[in-house]
Amino acid sequence: MKRRTDCYKVTLLFLGTLYSAIVYADDEFNPGFLVGSAVNTRISEAKNTISPGVYKVDVYVNKEWKGNYQLKVAEGNDLFIQKADFFKFDIKTETPSETLPSTNAQGWVLLTLFLKESEFKFRQNTFQLDITVPQARIIVHDKNWMPPEQWDKGITGLFTNYNLIYTDGNYKNSSDQSSLYVTLNSGFNIADWHLRDKSYYYHNKSNSSWITRARYLEKSFPAINSTAKAGEDYTSSDWFDSFKFRGVALIKDLSMLPDSYRLYMPVIRGVAESNAIVKVIQNDKIVFQQSVPAGPFEFADLMPTGSRSDLSLVIEYANGKKTTAIIPYSASGNLLRSGSSDWALYAGKFKSDYYFKNNNFVQAEYSRGLNNSLTIVAGSITGENYQSGLAGAGLLIPYLGTLTTSYQYARAKASGAHARGGKARISLNKYFPTRTSITVSATHNEKNYLTLSQSDSAAQYVSAQTGYRVQEQNSFSAAIDQRLPEGYGSLNASIYATGYWNTSKTSRQFSLGWSNSYNQISWTVNAGRRIYTDSSLLEQEKRTAVYHDESYGSISVSIPWSIFNHNGTITAASNIQGSQHSSSVGWNETVSERLRYNLLASSKSSDRASSSGYVSYTSPWSTLTGNLAQSRNSTQYGFSASGSLLLSQHGLLASPQTGNHFVIIDAPGIADAKVNGNASIVTNSAGKALLPYATPWRKNTLYLNADSASDIEGNIKKVAPWKGSISYVKYITDTRKTFSLRATNSNGVPLTFGASLYDKQGNELGYVAQGGLIHIKADTLPDSIRVQTDKTHACLIEEVVLTGDNICKNL
């Protein structure tokens, strides 16, 4: 009998312990910080309901954001998605799109027709749809690329990027000198129509001028992956020389395309004899691996890894058989992926010297990646007095690297003079596994070969008149960068030489450098020789130019140091150039994320000792700098200011940074919040900030770091702006204060958990948490609170106090 009693005691003790653990776990549940408008969806354990309707939700597939889409919630919490939207999530389905039924003409489809219930979850409190599927069902795209339907055209606005530089000085035996230089890169946007103006102003005591470098209207056309512009600008080409023109242009914009199309990487092709594992190896590391069935395979979405070594393709079979092949790879800007293309078209009048000629022209070029190893290009320039044709190719050669070559033939006439000739170019890029990078290039200009810009002065090139212009004949350059073993730094060397027609002299430059670091101490050593001319005209009599021959060398050291609890860097440098030498020692300190300064003492063989100081401060509106230099013969000082200004329907905003792709951040009531952790981009007193350097055509993630007690509902936003656009991103914020107090009913019993709270006007304030603890959000503590325990029962708290007891009396 005693044994049975003891058994009962043990059983009751175990059940009591288990019950207390359950109660404890329940008491630990504390969703009390979810208040206000989130009450209806705040406690899924209690209600788990959301009103039927259509909601805008953020969709995540395997934790990757896919965009903001509409989700329909029906009675019974059934979820529906637009048929067209689902196929933007890059999830493979077995059911073809055209065979899927829809519930109505709007195209709503039950989500379970695409996914199992276990593969998705709708988070009602954050309006987020999480989808989790096996990786094999994911259609692979570039991480930050988004389909054109998700690109944001932006809003109307006027902006300018400015840079103002003022310098002044007092010089011994000469008059004081002052100058002002202002650059303005401005624009006016009306949706996806963009007007651009790039100008600068220069002023000193002798003259002043206002120069417009470019002014044009621009519009992008994603349907053909191109951008059109009309006005004045400069041509841009990897093959032709650039010049200023007035006219129209249509240019393919490769940045609109996924990186797997835009950036060069070989397309991996092969044939598997049976089921196998395909591996792509670079520098003894697997950069890609995939199981394949018997038959041909192709992988066209490999992305650059940062290395430029050749790739190895390995096919491993279940029976142990292995085949290996080398895939040449050397990243080059002139190589395109297999099957991809690039093109540009310009038409108008070109500008020679300081005015536009009546010489109309048309320039066209087209390049295409034929396969992994060959990219071809063709182009032409046709004008009234100038014609030119170009053909070229980029070739990837195993063990040799990337070879790029082109030949351009041109003929021109002006003032009765004729000129004909060609230009040949060849370059080689190679990266070796020994971490050696080599670049070699050479150019040969035939006599009387002229560019379009030179063609207007053809007479000065082909006649013997005074002022015969220097015409380049040959140029050669080579550069090598070598990373040494760990702890020994890196070496670099380069050579450049240019020869001219009608003279035996050449311009040459040789350089050699070594850099390294040890225990945060870094140093750089450079040496070289320059032989050059500062004249662009040959003297008619001697047919020679004035040449300079000088050697140079330098050494610089940077040492971290702490002085009087100030952490900074001591720098020292010594330079020799020809017969001149100089040395300096300085102190650099970053005081804060916004403020830094530099002090420098130096001496020169021509001016003895001098001292200088520099300070830079990044305010929320502008980047400001000041400098002062003092020597025996002169005193110089100056200041600068740079940043951007933008005017739109959301007011005038400023940023200390500059850029061409703007995002207006709007978090009402949240002041001094950092955007993406950047201390120079912070919200103003109204909660607005200007980010001027978003990446166009790509997903930009924007998050706020706020120190205030105000709430930001979902502090991460995503936007994919058009090129040159002004996007507007608004955060949902709650700037009300949070109050916590305790209350009981008239019998001293804690109020019902989960009961809703209202003020006199019927505005929802919060709810009742565990143990009768009340959490409310309001601008000020209300005089009274109505507690709605259910549809028919309510009580009222009058004379609310934060400390002490609050009694809720039945109504």
Residue 552 to residue 582: CA distance in whole angstroms: 11
Residues 6+ apart with CB under 8 A from 420: 409, 410, 411, 412, 448, 449
- CA-to-CA separations, 793 to 758, 787, 800, in angstroms, rounded: 14, 9, 20
Looking at the chain, the whole-number percentage of residues with pLDDT higher than 70 is 79
Question: What is the strand order of the sheet 285-292 is part of?
Answer: 285-292, 276-282, 311-317, 322-327
Calculate the dihedral angle through the C-alpha atoms of 60, 64, 68, 70, rounding to the nearest 10 degrees: -30
State the pLDDT at residue 654.
96
Residue written as token pair 């970053």:
590
Choose the weakest-confidence range: 64-73, 279-288, 659-668.
279-288
Residue 424 to residue 622: CA distance in whole angstroms: 47
Is 676 strand, coil or helix?
Answer: coil
The answer on pLDDT for 461 being more than 70 is no
Task: Grade residue 48 by pLDDT with cuts at 50, 70 and 90.
Answer: very low
Tokens of 676: 């993406």
Residue 7 to residue 519: CA distance in whole angstroms: 69
State the pLDDT at residue 27.
35
Residue 77 to residue 260: CA distance in whole angstroms: 40
Residue 458 to residue 447: CA distance in whole angstroms: 12
H-assigned helices in 44-152: 83-86
Task: Grade residue 39 by pLDDT with cuts at 50, 70 and 90.
Answer: very low
Question: What is the strand order of the sheet 151-152 is part of?
Answer: 151-152, 716-721, 700-705, 674-675, 678-682
Residue 456 contacts residue 359 (beta carbons within 8 Å): yes
State the pLDDT at residue 709.
53
Is 520 strand, coil or helix?
Answer: coil
Strand partners, 171: 634
Domains 645-734 and 737-810 share a fold: yes
Mean pLDDT confidence for 268-295: 72
Amino acid sitting at position 525: V
State the pLDDT at residue 264.
65
State the pLDDT at residue 462.
57
Radius of gyration for the alpha carbons in the chain, expressed in angstroms and rounded: 35
Residue 417 contacts residue 398 (beta carbons within 8 Å): no
Mean pLDDT confidence for 365-378: 92
pLDDT digits (tens, 9 = 90+) for 131-166: 988 766 777 666 778 888 889 999 999 999 999 999
The answer on pLDDT for 545 being more than 70 is no
Mean pLDDT confidence for 684-691: 93
Residue 671 contacts residue 627 (beta carbons within 8 Å): no
State the pLDDT at residue 442.
93
pLDDT digits (tens, 9 = 90+) for 200-220: 998 888 888 998 989 999 999
Q: Spelled out in words, what is the top-level CATH class assigned to the domain 737-810?
A: mainly beta
Q: What are phi and psi of 452, to 5 degrees?
A: -60, -40
**CATH number, span 267-327:** 2.60.40.3110
Q: What are phi and psi of 335, to 5 degrees?
A: -95, 135
Q: What is the pTM of this model?
A: 0.72
Residue 488 to residue 483: CA distance in whole angstroms: 8
Mean pLDDT confidence for 463-475: 61
- CA-to-CA separations, 133 to 77, 118, 121, in angstroms, rounded: 21, 9, 12
Residue 436 to residue 453: CA distance in whole angstroms: 38
Say which DSSP state 698 is in: B
Choose the weakest-confidence range: 357-366, 412-421, 431-440.
412-421
- CA-to-CA separations, 341 to 253, 300, 487, 682, in angstroms, rounded: 11, 15, 43, 41
86 HSE (CA, 13 A, CB side): 27
Residue 64 to residue 464: CA distance in whole angstroms: 69
Is 36 strand, coil or helix?
Answer: helix
Task: Grade residue 309 by pLDDT with cuts at 50, 70 and 90.
Answer: low
The answer on pLDDT for 44 being more than 80 is no
Choose the weakest-confidence range: 302-311, 711-720, 799-808.
302-311
Choose the weakest-confidence range: 66-80, 532-546, 771-785.
532-546
State the pLDDT at residue 512.
93
State the pLDDT at residue 466.
36
Residue 755 to residue 775: CA distance in whole angstroms: 11
Tokens of 741: 């107090």
State the pLDDT at residue 346.
96
Calculate the dihedral angle through the C-alpha atoms of 31, 32, 35, 39, rounding to the nearest 10 degrees: 50
Task: Report the relative pairing of strands 608-618 and 737-745 from DSSP bridges.
Answer: unpaired
- CA-to-CA separations, 158 to 17, 188, 648, in angstroms, rounded: 69, 4, 7
Task: Report the relative pairing of strands 151-152 and 716-721 from DSSP bridges.
Answer: parallel
Residue 704 to residue 717: CA distance in whole angstroms: 9
pLDDT digits (tens, 9 = 90+) for 595-654: 999 898 888 776 678 888 999 999 999 999 999 888 877 788 889 999 999 999 999 999
Amino acid sitting at position 357: K
Closest CA to 714 of 48, 68, 52: 68
Tokens of 609: 């000792």
Residue 448 to residue 414: CA distance in whole angstroms: 13
CATH architecture of 36-139: Roll (3.10)
Sorted by where each begins, the domain ranges of the chain are 36-139, 267-327, 645-734, 737-810
Closest CA to 755 of 736, 742, 739, 774: 774
Most confident of 153-157, 439-443, 586-590: 153-157
Choose the weakest-confidence range: 36-45, 311-320, 559-568.
36-45
Residue 712 contacts residue 706 (beta carbons within 8 Å): yes
Is 531 strand, coil or helix?
Answer: strand
Task: Grade residue 40 by pLDDT with cuts at 50, 70 and 90.
Answer: very low
Cα angle 11, 16, 21; round to 5: 130
The answer on pLDDT for 725 being more than 90 is yes
Strand partners, 712: 733
- CA-to-CA separations, 541 to 459, 545, 766, in angstroms, rounded: 18, 11, 94
550 HSE (CA, 13 A, CB side): 13
Give 539-581 as a DSSP string.
-TTT----EEEEEEEEEEEEEEEEETTEEEEEEEEEEEETTEE
Task: Grade residue 25 by pLDDT with cuts at 50, 70 and 90.
Answer: very low
How does the average pLDDT of the chain come out, rounded?
Answer: 80
State the pLDDT at residue 681.
92
Closest CA to 390 of 416, 372, 371, 364: 364
Most confident of 291-295, 432-436, 533-537, 644-648: 644-648
Q: Spelled out in words, what is the top-level CATH class assigned to the domain 645-734?
A: mainly beta
pLDDT digits (tens, 9 = 90+) for 85-111: 888 788 887 665 555 555 555 678 888
Residue 765 to residue 790: CA distance in whole angstroms: 16
Residue 57 contacts residue 127 (beta carbons within 8 Å): yes
Amino acid sitting at position 332: S
Residue written as token pair 């987020």:
128
**Alpha carbon distance, N-terminus to C-terminus of the chain:** 57
Is 634 strand, coil or helix?
Answer: strand
**What's CA 763's distance to the chain center, in Å?**
44
Residue 429 contacts residue 402 (beta carbons within 8 Å): yes
Residue 673 to residue 661: CA distance in whole angstroms: 21
Task: Grade residue 335 by pLDDT with cuts at 50, 70 and 90.
Answer: confident
The answer on pLDDT for 26 being more than 50 is no
pLDDT digits (tens, 9 = 90+) for 768-799: 888 788 888 888 889 899 998 777 789 999 98
State the pLDDT at residue 55.
83
